[in-house]
A and B are shown apart, each in its own frame.
Chain A
Amino acid sequence: GAVVSQHPSWVICKSGTSVKIECRSLDFQATTMFWYRQFPKQSLMLMATSNEGSKATYEQGVEKDKFLINHASLTLSTLTVTSAHPEDSSFYICSAPMGPHPSAFFGQGTRLTVV
């Protein structure tokens, strides 16, 4: 079946550095992908909608310059956490809908730890 692959599954970085997370749709094209953030023991919060060939749409309160999103092809969206700080440590998950219904397929998530 359709799969969304997210890479890396975990990453540790130093404060002030940038980290890139990739989200790929493996056997289908996704003109739209979504990026979520999940704090421990909490629900998923939508950060932004990634649109192929155009700018991402960010949810209220999400810093555009902090979380850079690029959707360069129909199968790849990337999230770059710039100048990371310990408070950016979280679980980041991407998803991609397929077909006319939004029963999105989710990546396996990326555990980011900023030290």
Chain B
Amino acid sequence: AQSVTQLDSQVPVFEEAPVELRCNYSSSVSVYLFWYVQYPNQGLQLLLKYLSGSTLVKGINGFEAEFNKSQTSFHLRKPSVHISDTAEYFCAVSDRNDYKLSFGAGTTVTVRA
């Protein structure tokens, strides 16, 4: 079984500032890693995913994440945020033989002008 820990429950940030959302996972097997964004009363949208290959993954809306196997981390970053990035962000993990996703508790990002 896998588990995901998102280290920050809330992250306030000013517009045009950088943001980093931290995610650590634990698993006894090789995994796939994901970041999703959820806007109020909506479903989840995939931001990016790590399946294999390069450990630096670029996603939509200017987000990127780096897979660090030794630290079992998959932190999400954006160099300059917009007001529209205000949302809930979820890190998720799946083992390579299963479609099931295990989600972290989520990080609320609030971008202020």
Question: Which residues of A does B touch, CB under 8 Å?
Answer: 4, 6, 9, 32, 34, 41-44, 46, 49, 91, 93, 95, 97, 101-109, 111
Q: What is the distance, in angstroms, from B97's C-beta to the closest C-beta of chain A?
A: 10
Q: Contacts A34-B99, A43-B105, A44-B103 given; indicate if A103 touches B43 (C-beta within 8 A).
A: no
* Inter-chain contacts of B32 with A (CB < 8 A): 101-103
Which B residues are CB-close (under 8 A) to A34? 99-101
**Smallest CB–CB gap between B106 and chain A, Å?**
5
Closest B residue by C-beta to A9: B41
Which chain A residue lies CB-closest to B98?
A102
Q: Is the CB of A102 within 8 A of B43?
A: no
Interface positions of B (Cβ within 8 A of A): 32, 34, 36, 41-46, 49, 51, 90, 94, 98-106, 108
Q: B45 to chain A: which residues have CB within 8 Å?
A: 106
Q: How far is the CA of A34 from the CA of B42 in the complex (A)?
A: 16
> What residues of A have a CB within 8 angstroms of the CB of B101 in the complex?
34, 44, 46, 95, 102, 104
B44–A93 contact, CB under 8 A?
A: yes
Assess whether B99 is in contact with A97, with CB atoms less than 8 Å apart. Answer: yes
A36 to B81: give the CA distance in the assembly, Å: 29
Q: Cα distance A105–B108 when bound, in Å?
A: 21
Q: Given the complex, which residues of A lie within 8 Å of B43, measured CB to CB?
A: 4, 6, 93, 106-109
Complex-state Cα separation, A104 to B44, whole angstroms: 9
Q: Taking the nearest CB of chain B, how far is it from the CB of A3, in angstroms?
A: 10
A43-B49 in contact (CB<8A): no
Residue contacts A-B, CB under 8 angstroms, 11 given: A41-B108, A46-B100, A49-B99, A95-B101, A101-B32, A102-B32, A102-B101, A103-B34, A107-B43, A108-B43, A109-B42
Determine if B49 and A101 form an interchain contact, defined as CB atoms under 8 angstroms apart. Answer: yes
Is A102 touching B99 in the complex (CB atoms < 8 A)? Answer: yes
